[in-house]
Structure 1
Amino acid sequence: MGARIVTCVGLLRHGETAGSGRYCGSTDDVLTPRGWEQMRSVLDKDFTWERIVSSPLARCTAFARELAHRRGLPIEIEHRLQEYHFGAWEGKSAAELLVTNPERLARFWEDPARYPPPGGEDFIQFQTRVLEAWNELCVRHAGRRLLMIGHGGPIRVVVGQVRHLSWPERLRLDVPLASMNRVSIHCAATADAQTTNALTADP
């Protein structure tokens, strides 16, 4: 067999923000002091990362930049890893929507591609931008240990793709605040193989 390359990726969700518990996709909330502590606690247990990639939103970049400075690591901001834009539901909680618009919310949970929030981002375009960024990053940094700091939505997209889950199954994935999902990507040492296998890795 030919040479194999293993790329290790950590998918870290941001910690608590002032808007936690609400749909705050494109709303640029900042971490609370507890949110900072949550993220530091996760990474202090096991830090082997070589590069940091972050969503452009403040709840991710503030921590990512501080971590990169403290650890002396390179950092890049990837705008395609930004959270899903919830349109008219930005700033609202699921509990509120269950009172004001329960049928629309139920349809969104069942099939977000067909039933997005009013004024919300097209879900297929959301998935496409996230997976394009993921695939490119895994190819560009093949063989490295990469820490991606981002949001629940994009993490569910990536983990769901890796595990071949349906949309309802992806939406039900438990991705708590400041949680870490790890993915190991095994591919042949060729550019074509990296491109093909980056989205079919075992978590």
Structure 2
Amino acid sequence: MNLHLDMLRHGETTGGGGFRGRLDDELTAEGWQQMRRAVAERAGWSRIISSPLKRCARFAAELAEGQDLELEVEPAFRELDFGAWEGLTAAELMLDRSEQLGRFWADPYGFTPPGGESLMVFETRVLTALERLADRWAGERILLVTHAGVMRLLLAEARGLPRERLLQVEVGHASLFGLNVGFRDATLWLEETCLPF
């Protein structure tokens, strides 16, 4: 049996845009409303899994309480750590680090921001955590409240995209996507699905 995984990205945050991986921003009032709208009229999850960062976990806690669901906080589903780029925007990086930024956009697996987490390490932690979920909760429908980077990685994998196209996957605030997750010949596989409700 497959795990049915619905993924919800956090809404708008107080920190604004830019590279905000390990920074623990709060949701704005609009961010809360974006997430509430995204799941309005939706039900059927057996449990909620969330990144530990406040922009995900606080909404996940509200939703879990409102739908009487178990909430599990999973550190492996936190965002990519951007190292020295944390808190900076692309426009700010263009002023004196445009060559580095260009390398990252062109090949995120081949270039890691200074002091940051490599995409290979990020991929390993996210996919390892997903394997645990698929093994533990096969046959269930789970909501994962997480970040754009995690969702891009999983959607790119499900869509069979080459690694250099990872950052082209669009994941807006409070976006909701569905995946079937299972094992074929003991190997994790992902398939994007339409949300059923």
Instruction: Please give the TM-score of this superposition, normalised by the length of structure 1.
Output: 0.89
CA displacement 1:24-74 (0-9 Å, x = unmatched)? 100000111110000000000422212100001111110011111111001
Listed as ranges, the matches of 1:122-137 within 5 Å are 122-137=118-133
Q: Which residue number in structure 2 is paired with residue 143 of structure 1?
A: 139
CA displacement 1:81-131 (0-9 Å, x = unmatched)? 110000110000111112221111010111122211111112211110011
Q: Which residue number in structure 1 is paired with residue 26 of structure 2?
A: 30
Q: Structure 1 residues 202, 17: CA separation in 2 closer, same or farther (over 3 Å shift)?
A: closer
The answer for unaligned runs of 5 or more in structure 2 is none
1:171 partnered with 2:179: no
Listed as ranges, the matches of 1:1-203 within 5 Å are 5-185=1-181, 193=184, 195-196=186-187, 198-203=188-193
The answer for unaligned runs of 5 or more in structure 1 is none
Task: Tell me how far apart the structure 2 counterparts of residues 195 and 71 of structure 1 sit (CA, whole Å).
Answer: 34
SS in 2 for 1:146: strand
Whether the aligned pair in 2 keeps the contact of 1:139 and 1:194 (CA below 8 Å) is: no
Q: Structure 1 residues 179, 202: CA separation in 2 closer, same or farther (over 3 Å shift)?
A: closer
Structure 1: which 4+ aligned runs deviate by more than 2 Å?
A: 45-48, 192-196, 198-203
Q: Structure 1 residues 42, 195: CA separation in 2 closer, same or farther (over 3 Å shift)?
A: farther
Q: Percent identity?
A: 41
RMSD: 1.6
Instruction: Please give the TM-score of this superposition, normalised by the length of structure 2.
Output: 0.92
Task: Tell me how far apart the structure 2 counterparts of residues 81 and 44 of structure 1 sit (CA, whole Å).
Answer: 23
Task: Tell me how far apart the structure 2 counterparts of residues 61 and 32 of structure 1 sit (CA, whole Å).
Answer: 14
Residue 16 (structure 1) shift:
0.5
| Residue identity matched to 2:151 | I
